Homo-oligomer: A and B are copies of this chain.
Amino acid sequence: MARTQGSHSDITGPRIRKAALALFARHGYAAVSMRQIAFEVGVQAGALYNYTPDKQSLLYRLMHEHMQDLLSAYDELEQSADASQALRQFVGFHIRFHLERPDEVFIAYMELRNLTPENFSEIEALRRKYEDTLEAILSRGQEGGVFDIADTKIATLAVIAMLNGVMTWYRAGGRLSLDEVEQVYWDIVRRSVSA
């Protein structure tokens, strides 16, 4: 008989979040039931409530942790003083970080509307914080004369949107390697902002 009760599973919590992540990404938050998540973990639905107060918090935590990871990972990079170098760095970082976490990324921007207003505000603030790091690079280059950008706010959003597009088609082992993808996108981005 498999061990089913009593053991203080330090691993059940992570397993729940992992299962929820995969299911939310594939079917969408609203379309996934607590019972499906529980089944994936190999547990009854009631047991989930030892690890989350409710379904909404499960979603919020996934998104919050992802945004925190994103920001702290970028912070750990030592940014080049040269704006052009910094931009190249950003492009590479963004592509690699996001391609490594397709499920988190998908959720973090498809399930925003399923957050409560308060939760939404917090996630949105983190996202803007990330966007601001890119805009800072663009503004710096603009002032330094290495970039020629009509509107840095729009350019920021345009670049991020473009880079995010990678995730809709990139597949490991496909026609292009990660390095090639990075190179191609850097080519496009560089020229779209260069003086």
Contact = CB atoms under 8 A, between A and B. Distances in A.
Interface of A: 26-28, 30-31, 110, 113-114, 150-151, 154-155, 157-162, 164-165, 168-169, 176, 181, 183-185, 187-189, 191-194
Contact of A158 (B31, B114, B165, B183): B165
5 contacts: A28-B113, A151-B176, A154-B184, A157-B169, A158-B185
A28 B26 contact: no
Contacts of A114: 28, 31
Nearest to A162: B162
Contacts of A193: 188, 191
Q: Is the interface of A mostly helix, strand, loop or mixed?
A: helix
Given A26-B113, A110-B110, A151-B176, A188 B31 contact: no
Contacts of A155: 184, 188
A150 B187 contact: yes
A155 B189 CA distance: 11
Contact of A168 (B157, B162, B185, B194): B157
A125 to B, nearest CB: 16
Nearest to A183: B150
A46 B71 CA distance: 49
Contacts of A160: 165
Nearest to A110: B110
A113 B150 CA distance: 37
Nearest to A192: B192
A178 to B, nearest CB: 13
A9 B109 CA distance: 39
Contacts of A26: 113
Contacts of A194: 191
